[in-house]
Chains A and B, each alone.
Chain A
Amino acid sequence: MAQIAPYTDEVHGALEVTAAREAVERSYRENGVRIWRALLLFTGDREVANDAVAEAFAQVLRRGEGVRDVDRWVWRAAFHIARAELGERRRHGATLVDSPVEMPTATADLVAALGRLSPKQRGAVILRYFAGYSNREVARIIGSTPGAVGMHLARARAKLRAELEEHDGSG
């Protein structure tokens, strides 16, 4: 006969930790790739994308059940971390690490054009058109308002269109 261990607080805690860990891993399996690609578009740098994704998920893993909506929390944290990393590099006078990423030509053009937008415009357009978030959700992630996001998007779209059409035309 199998022995049944008593259901103690320790067991309860361990089960909670396991459930939280499983939720984070599930979130990573479902969203990690998309977040990583979004961050690559945002930063243009594979190393920054790696670090931001790993750090964001590691943080949410440690927080356990303290995070109610893991997906949204990680999106927000990852963008926050990536942006801070870009700022750190800039403060130390460094330009982005040249870590070439194999990508379709059209995407490479897009990444170059995105790099000429302001961080908020870039974040808004990636979250809206790549990640598929609504303006309200984009505002929550980048720390803005839906109205401002609409403005960022309008201007980012116009700039991207002009840049990419010009590039297509010349090329």
Chain B
Amino acid sequence: MDLGERFREADQISTPDLWEEIERREPRATRPGPGRHRAVTVFVALVVAVAGVAFAVIAFRPGQSPVPAASTTSPFLSLWPQRSVELGPALLSDIGVVQRKADDGDPSATWQLSPTEVATRFANEVMGWPTVTVEPTGTNPEGSVVVTVHYGIIYGAQGCLQLGSGGQTPASGNCSGFPLAMGHEITLVQPGVKGTGGIWEVVEVHPVTSSEFDLGVSRGEALTAGQTLRFDFLDVPPGAVGLVASFDCARPLDVEGTVEVDPNHSIGTLTVPDLAPQGEGCIVPSPNGYLYAYSAFPPDSAVRAGDPFKSSVQIGEVAIVPVVLSRPEVSESPSPETAPSPTAPGGVSEVLQMTCAPDGTPQILTPVVRVQADGLHVVVRDWAGSEAVIFRQQARPEIAWSSGSNGLDDEFVTLVRPGETFVGCKGAGASVAPSPGSGVQSNEAAFTVVDPDHVWVPTDLVCGYKDQWSFHVGTSRATDNGMTPSEAARALVPGVQMTDVVEPGGYVAAKSEADVVRVVRDGEVVAWMMAHSQAAWSFDGYACPGSGIGEKP
């Protein structure tokens, strides 16, 4: 049963008639939600206000404008409110929209202009702490700020005081339902606009009331499949502590570690699993994720808190750091005469290195390769008589990319897209015959192209390659009229609508004879084409049926 059928089955659920209730209902005066403050007390509001002013003094004092927020690694990873684990390449565009809303004064976004407000809401909505006190803690050299939130009770002369509750003793004076005060440092950065007009994102969380949850992993660090991480947690309550790495894969990939407790230490161990290739286990080869360690609430509870972003249970203390998962380097090392490839952290190479054996068998020396802004960089160390290499991808089995090499060029750039890729050697006794849809063949080798910097602008059609149809549009319009390829496509390709977004696609910095342009309609790619600009504009591309693009009027 497909998804559509399952949703249609929901139409059988009986429903109540609420009209009478609607007519007599007195709408609530205030609504919780974006743009409104949560049910925090005047005391907390005052704390926030004072903290905000103090923060502004700290963060934006004259003569020291905030420096751009520099993450320890690229790309930018955000935990909340916009989440890189879910948005992937769309993260920055989503942040851009929120920023524009904030610029326009839209209350659904303006709250993100205050780091203390973002931190408060993070404590409310993600950690499940209903009331908190907040205090700005400082500004880091790279421009990030730290806001500390506290929740729980403290004992004073008059009994127990609940933080964030206005200083009142909890009802009936019973403090047993509240934890002792806990505090967390929430690190925020401005990914785009800096200063008072820029929105803030939570990028790290660490507890400050205990030092147990020092993850020892940097923000954005690449965790390699097979890697074992060890943590030394001090004095954590046994049985109520979790250590998890969570990635956004097709199947839930919440990798749970173990925490062994001895009288003095709690040793956490987590082994990052080897991932199946794209499409089998993970949607993307290097998924964004986050590593977190937590204690349950109440602290002595055996209830496991679970993922703070998914669980509906309050959490006690938690440390969260965004990470990237990458696949391991090949186990066999290159031959001594082979120059090492520039390798990024996590075993990802900058250049695909390969050889062709005399019988045409390819050998891959770098199984995980990061694309550059202009495409995939390839070095063929030994052609062994082959004349070209051909790349084949599951995503587009009807197309194979050839290097066009004549055996003399050892280095070239090709436009292979991110994902699982097969390569074969061709010519002089070596040959490949790409077979659509099949796995790696005997005369091929597999490697993975990753795109952590999101330089590839997807051209995958919403209708899939099986339903797409090809078109050619030739024109007599000269190319010296100042139009960009996107403008030319909009003006000259039939079927492009006024509301369509026509923009560069693929590797926008590619140095090829034709420019790739994609057409986005209602947020989905409905066509892409190569725009040729020799003397007159012409276009070769693919479009979804029904889009009308490329059809003769």
Contact = CB atoms under 8 A, between A and B. Distances in A.
Interface of A: 25, 28-29, 32-33, 36-37, 40-41, 50, 53-55, 57-59, 61-62, 80-81, 83-84, 86-93, 95-96, 101-104, 106-107, 109-110, 116, 118, 120-121, 125-126, 129-130, 134-136, 139, 143-152, 154-155, 157-164, 166, 168
Nearest to A41: B10
B31 interface: yes
B172 interface: no
A168 B7 contact: no
Given A28-B19, A159-B251, A90 B128 contact: yes
Given A50-B18, A161-B250, 7 more contacts: A33-B15, A41-B10, A58-B27, A102-B14, A145-B94, A148-B94, A158-B250
Interface string B6-33: 1101111111101101110111100111
Interface in B393-437: none
A69 B6 CA distance: 29
A91 to B, nearest CB: 4
A136 B523 contact: yes
A118 B309 contact: yes
B112 to A, nearest CB: 12
B544 to A, nearest CB: 14
16 contacts: A54-B18, A84-B31, A91-B125, A92-B130, A106-B6, A107-B13, A109-B6, A110-B9, A121-B86, A125-B3, A129-B3, A129-B7, A143-B108, A149-B523, A159-B250, A160-B3
A40 B22 CA distance: 18
Which 9 A-B pairs rank lowest in CB-CB distance, beginning with the nearest? A146-B523, A135-B523, A158-B250, A58-B25, A84-B32, A91-B130, A148-B94, A57-B22, A147-B90
Contacts of A129: 3-4, 7
A58 B89 CA distance: 39
B60 interface: no
Given A55-B28, A90-B314, A145-B94, A36 B15 contact: yes
The residue in B7, B14, B19, B129 that gathers the most chain A C-beta atoms within 10 A of its C-beta is B7
Contacts of B341: none
A90 B15 CA distance: 26
A166 B371 CA distance: 34
- B: contact size bracket: 35 or more
A73 to B, nearest CB: 13
Given A61-B22, A89-B312, A36 B16 contact: yes
Among B13, B128, B250, B310, residue most surrounded by chain A Cβ atoms (within 10 Å): B13
Nearest to B460: A154
A102 B13 contact: yes
B498 interface: no
Given A103-B10, A129-B7, A55 B27 contact: yes
Most buried by B among A80, A87, A92, A102: A87
B22 A54 contact: yes
Most buried by B among A89, A90, A104, A129: A90
A83 B312 CA distance: 12
B523 A143 contact: no
Contacts of A110: 6-7, 9-10
B292 to A, nearest CB: 15
Contact of A150 (B21, B31, B83, B524): B524
Contacts of A144: 94, 97
Nearest to B93: A147
A37 B86 contact: no
A40 B523 contact: no
Contacts of B104: none
A102 B13 CA distance: 7
B124 interface: yes
Contacts of B13: 37, 40, 101-104, 107
Decide if the interface of chain B is mainly helix, strand, loop or mixed: loop
Nearest to B91: A148
A87 B125 contact: yes
A107 to B, nearest CB: 5
B22 A28 contact: yes
A151 B168 CA distance: 45
Nearest to B130: A91
A171 to B, nearest CB: 12
Interface of B: 1, 3-7, 9-16, 18-19, 21-23, 25-28, 31-34, 83, 86-90, 93-94, 97, 108, 124-125, 128-130, 248, 250-252, 283, 297, 309-310, 312-314, 520, 522-524
A59 B27 contact: yes
B86 A96 contact: no
Given A84-B31, A136-B523, A145-B93, A91 B124 contact: yes
A95 B313 contact: yes
B518 to A, nearest CB: 12
A102 B15 CA distance: 10
A87 to B, nearest CB: 5
A106 B5 contact: yes
Nearest to A162: B251
Contacts of B129: 91
B309 A95 contact: no
Contacts of A118: 83, 86, 309-310
Nearest to B108: A143
A41 B534 CA distance: 54
A104 B523 CA distance: 33
A24 to B, nearest CB: 8
Contact of B312 (A33, A84, A86, A166): A86
Given A81-B33, A87-B32, A145-B93, A58 B251 contact: no
B523 A103 contact: no
Nearest to B1: A106
Contacts of A92: 130
Given A58-B22, A87-B125, A159-B251, A151 B87 contact: yes
A155 B31 CA distance: 30
B32 A148 contact: no
A33 B9 CA distance: 14
A88 B129 CA distance: 10
Contacts of A136: 522-523
